[in-house]
Amino acid sequence: MARARDPIADLRRIAFLLERANEATYRVRAFRSAAKALAGMPAAELTERAGNGTLTELAGVGDVTARCVAESLAGEEPVYLRRLVATEGSDLDAEATALRAALRGDCHTHSDWSDGGSPIEEMALAAVELGHEYLVLTDHSPRLTVARGLTANRLRQQLDHVAKVNAALPEGFRILTGIEVDILADGSLDQDDDLLARLDVVVGSVHSGLKDERSKMTRRMLKAVANPHLDILGHVTGRMVSSRPAGVTGPGDRGHRARTRAESDFDADAVFAACAEHDTAVEINSRPERQDPPKRLIRRALEAGCRFAINTDAHAPGQLDWQRFGCERAALCGVPADRVINTWSAEQLVAWTQNRS
Ligand SMILES: [Zn+2]
Ligand SMILES: [Zn+2]
């Protein structure tokens, strides 16, 4: 008999690949729930249940996931996993591939502390598997209540929790602390100054009043960019596009419904000039439905002398691999690796953010 594989690892891998391909959330959840339900089970019981067909009696385990487990235990790569691997991925051209290879971490990610779908630990493990050296955890700020933004107190609790998680993670990898802080109507930031100063990385984004009139939005963004706590300006235009990038296949998803949104109106040249002046990085957001900023604005930010951060804005582990989409767009615009702050080591990155504030 072939040597058994690790069925939990196979279930998690399938969930990762489904997320990466932007598949329906319920489908991903089936595999993550099954992995969670079976993770603590003694190997002997797992084998016995797979043998007598009683895995499906457990909450969170269905026919498909039970079949995957049985195949894993029999030492076979589950058919479901094999099919996903066979149909995955897109080919990047040489420049985009080189840029992706130069990235050492991700500066914009969410966990289930705000509107992400997975615990911090799972996000971190997926980042380790991708070869990252760090992951900046940037859950939302208080005013974004629809995304369960963290109050100052909950953020303090999160900082303690991250310290504990970090202690248990493999050497050479760490979670950096951070926030995706709302840029409020007057351009101020939606969190206490002392907390912003304590965090390793601060991403600031506009989530409300996206239709502000041009001069108001420009003033708002200029004030935020000049704030020494703000390190990265997140999804600059706030646009939502409905198209899928090359390589993303699969049926529709509630998280990917056709909800388009126009770009916010602001003086991009003034904002990018301010980013260059204050050394605030411009985010290249990799999410398929955002693709923000559009390429013409990436080129203008490049000309203005801005630095960039190529981020996923991942809300689930598999989405951490979406960085390749951002790299593809950055490469098309001629963004060189030495302008991208997440090509730096964690130490360089933190030294930079601390120097700025
Ligand atoms: Zn955001
Ligand atoms: Zn975000």
Distance 236 CA to ligand 1 centre (A): 9
Distances (CA, A) of 59 to 33, 37, 62, 308: 9, 7, 8, 45
Closest-approaching ligand to the CA atom of 107: 2
Closest-approaching ligand to the CA atom of 115: 2
Distance 249 CA to ligand 1 centre (A): 24
Distance 206 CA to ligand 1 centre (A): 7
Task: Report pTM.
Answer: 0.83
Closest-approaching ligand to the CA atom of 182: 1
Residue 250: its pLDDT value, please? 40
DSSP result, 233-291? E-STT--B--PPPTT--SS--GGG-S--BPPPP--HHHHHHHHHHHTPEEEEE--TTT-
Distance 207 CA to ligand 1 centre (A): 6
Look at residue 199 and tell me whether its pLDDT is greater than 80.
yes
Residue 192, φ and ψ in degrees, nearest 5: -60, 140
Distance 108 CA to ligand 1 centre (A): 9
Closest-approaching ligand to the CA atom of 108: 2
Which of 234-238, 255-259, 316-320 has the least mean pLDDT?
255-259
Residue 246: its pLDDT value, please? 35
- In this predicted model, which residue has the larger pLDDT, 244 or 137? 137
Distance 276 CA to ligand 2 centre (A): 22
CA–CA separation, 205 and 149 (whole Å) = 13
Report helix angle 63-73 to 43-52, nearest 10. Answer: 120
Closest-approaching ligand to the CA atom of 234: 1
Ion ligand 1: residue ranges with CB closer than 5 A = 205
Look at residue 247 and tell me whether its pLDDT is greater than 60.
no
pLDDT per residue as tens digits for the range 60-72: 999 999 999 999 9
Residue 270: its pLDDT value, please? 98
Closest-approaching ligand to the CA atom of 206: 1
Ion ligand 2: residue ranges with CB closer than 5 A = 180, 313
pLDDT per residue as tens digits for the range 5-34: 999 999 999 999 999 888 888 889 999 999
Distance 282 CA to ligand 2 centre (A): 14
Look at residue 106 and tell me whether its pLDDT is greater than 70.
yes
The mean pLDDT value of the chain amounts to 92
Confidence category of residue 85, pLDDT binned at 50, 70, 90? confident
CA–CA separation, 216 and 187 (whole Å) = 10
Contacts of 304 (CB under 8 A, 6+ apart): 269, 272, 273, 275, 276
